[in-house]
Amino acid sequence: MFNIPIREKQEEHLDEFGGVPGKAPPDDNIFQGVRKCASCWAKELGISEHEAQLQIKEQSGPAVDARRRAVTFKAAFEEAKNDTALKGMSNNVIRNIVRGDLVELFKPLEPMITRKLKKVVQRDTGVQKYDELLKQFKEEKNLDKQLMLLEELEKMEDEIAECNKNLAFQGFVDQQQCVNVAQYHDEWTMSTSGSRMRAWYVCMHDGNGQWPACGTIMPAKHWIRRFDDIGSSKQRWYCVCCGAKYKTKYGMLVEIHITSPTPASTFLRSEITNKDVDDVRAMYLEHSLKPKDHKDLWRQIPDFTPMQPGDIMRPCREDEFVSHEGFDKSLISKFIKPSDMMDLPVWTWDTIFTLVDEPK
C-alpha cells in the first residue's frame, strides 16, 4: 500500500467516485437507488401514486442508462456514415485514418464486437418498447390497466438489465473482478500486419485551473492504487507525479499505429470508455489469454507504452515524481505541452461497433 499525498486527501471530497478505471459515476438524481416506494414519494411531493410511479420509471432503473447509451450509440453510426475517414494528430499535423485501416485493425475483435452489438441492438429495441409502454402508462386513467402496464414495464426492465450484463468471463466465480482487471490492458487490438491501438488514462490535474495540467501518461498498472485488491470495484488511482486522484473528466489518450505503407502513429483524445466497449475488450482477453481467474489475468497483462511518442511526449524527469516505488519510472511520460491534448481530434469509443455488419 502506498502513502497518498496530503494534497489529494484534501481534494478527495471533490470527486468521491471509485469503481473500475474510467467508469462514470451514477447520475446524481434523487431516484438513484433511493426513491423506490411510490407511496412514500407521492406523500413527500403531494402527488398521486400514479404520478409518483411515472416519475420513478422515467428517472430510475436500467432503462435510464440504456436510453442514454442509445443516444451516443446512434451518434457514432451517424458519424461513420458522414465521415469516410477518422482524423488524428501525427507529427503535429492532422491526418486521416481511412476506414479500411480501422476495419483491418479491429479484425481480431470482430467476433466479440458482433456478439456485443447484437445485445446492444436488443437493448435499444427494448428501450423503445419500454418508452412506448411508459407513454401508455402516463395517459392511462384506469387503475387496473395501470397495474397491468406496470407489470409489463417491470418485465421490460428485466430484459433491458439482462442485455446490460457482461458477456465476458461468464461462468467465472470472479467474473466482475476479471472484468475490472481487464481494464488494465492498455492495448485494445493488434492486427496480423502489426497495426495496433492503445489507450491510456492520463492525469490532467491542474488544481482547478491554479497551475498547468500535470500531463502524465503511464501504463494502467502503474497508477498508485488505493486498495491492494486488484479486482476491487471500489478502486481509486493516484498519479505517480502529482499524487492527484484520477478523475473521469481527464479522459484518455489514444494511439492508432498503422504499419502500412509506412509505420506511423496518430494520436487522439477520448472520453473514458463505456461498459459496452469494455466488455468487448474483456471478451477478447478471455479468448486470447485464457486466464484461470482474475489474478492469473493480472499476471498476463504487460505494460504498454506509446509506439511513437516523440512528437507529443517526453520521458518523465526524476524530480517530477512524488512516488518512487512500485513502478518502472522509464515507462512514465509527460506531454511536452499538456494543453495541446485538447487540440487532438476526438476518438469515439462506439466507433468500433460501426466496423462490423449490423446483426439482422
DSSP-assigned letters across all residues of 68-134: HHHHHHHHHHHHHHH-SEEEEEETTEEEEEEHHHHHHHTGGGHHHHHHHHHHHHHHHHHHHHHHHHH
* Largest distance between two CA atoms of the chain: 72
Enter the C-alpha cell of residue 166: 457482461
Q: How far apart are CA 227 and CA 152, in angstroms?
A: 42
Encode the chain (360 residues) as per-residue pLDDT tens digits: 333 332 333 333 333 333 334 343 333 333 344 446 878 878 888 888 888 888 888 888 889 999 989 888 888 888 877 776 677 767 666 777 788 889 999 999 999 999 999 999 999 999 999 999 999 999 999 999 999 999 999 999 999 999 999 999 999 999 999 999 999 999 999 999 999 999 999 999 999 889 999 999 999 999 999 999 999 999 999 999 999 999 999 999 999 999 888 888 999 999 999 999 999 999 999 999 999 999 999 999 999 999 988 778 999 999 999 988 888 999 999 999 998 888 899 999 999 999 988 766
How far is 355 from 221, CA to CA, in rounded Å? Answer: 29
Check residue 93 and give its pLDDT.
67
Give yes or no for a contact between 201 and 216, defined as CB atoms under 8 angstroms apart. Answer: no
pLDDT confidence of residue 1:
33
- Residue 273 CA to residue 23 CA, distance in Å, equals 7
The reported pLDDT for the residue numbered 72 is: 87
pLDDT at 208: 87
Please give the pLDDT value at position 28. Answer: 34
Helix (H) or strand (E) holding 277: helix 275-289
Residues 6+ apart with CB under 8 A from 313: 217, 306, 333, 334, 335, 336
d(CA 69, CA 311): 35
Domain range summary for the chain, segments of one domain joined by +: 6-12+85-99+169-355
Geometric angle at alpha carbon 256, from 312 and 247, rounded to 5°: 65
Residue 352's pLDDT is 94
Is-contact 312 89, C-beta < 8 A? yes
Q: Look at the block and give the residue holding cell 466507433.
A: 351
From residue 13, alpha-carbon distances to 9, 10, 18, 59, 213 in Å are: 8, 7, 12, 26, 20
Give the HSE-up count for residue 46: Cα atoms under 13 Å, Cβ half-sphere. Answer: 0
Taking only Cα atoms into account, the Rg of the chain, rounded to an integer number of angstroms, comes to 22
pLDDT the model gives residue 45: 82
Query: pLDDT value at position 18?
Result: 37
pLDDT value, residue 95: 75
What residues form DSSP beta bridges with 225?
A: 237
Q: What is the pTM of this model?
A: 0.85
**Predicted local confidence at residue 323, as pLDDT:** 84
- Classify 16 as helix, strand or coil: coil
Cell numbers at residue 268, please? 487522439
As a whole number of angstroms, the distance between CA 27 and CA 30 comes to: 9
Asked if 219 and 303 count as a contact pair (C-beta separation under 8 A), the reply is yes
Residue 214 CA, chain-centre distance (Å), reads 22
**Neighbouring residues of 197: CB distance < 8 A, sequence distance ≥ 6:** 105, 106, 187, 188, 189, 254, 255, 256, 257
- Measured in degrees and rounded to the nearest 5, phi and psi for residue 333 equal -125, 165
Dihedrals φ, ψ of 253, to 5°?
Answer: -105, 130
Residues in Cβ contact with 156 at an 8 Å cutoff, skipping those fewer than 6 apart: 63, 126, 129, 130, 133
- Rounded Cα gap, residues 290 and 182, in angstroms: 12
- Grid cell, residue 194, equals 502489426
Q: According to the model, what pLDDT value does residue 166 have? A: 97
Q: What would the 3-class secondary structure string for 22-71 be?
A: CCCCCCCCCCCCCCCCHHHHHHHHCCCHHHHHHHHHHHCCHHHHHHHHHH
